[in-house]
Amino acid sequence: MPQRDGFEFETFTAKIIEKRFNNLSDISRANAWIIYLLDVGRFLWNADVVIANLDEPLDPGVIVEIMFAH
């Protein structure tokens, strides 16, 4: 669970990402890639259960994570 196993992503963003990128678009893109890589590369493989919010509109990233979990 992110509340238990995660980290302060906001602190990480402020300390590392914002120092390396100049504009908000690049910061946002870097954040999205980091979240994706952590989810798919680390968290899904160690999870016993995956719960996903499938409200409309469907998020393609969530669908990919569900497929990886499956």
* pLDDT over 80 at 16, yes or no: no
Q: 6-31 burial string, b = 16+ CB within 10 Å, else e?
A: eeeeeeeeeeebeeeeeeeeeeeebb
Range of the domain at 59: 2-69
Q: How many structural domains is the chain composed of? A: 1
Cβ(65)–Cβ(47) under 8 Å? no
pLDDT confidence band for 4 (50 / 70 / 90): low
pTM of the model: 0.58
User: Which residues lie below 8 Å from residue 69, measured CB to CB, with a gap of 6+?
Assistant: 44, 47, 50
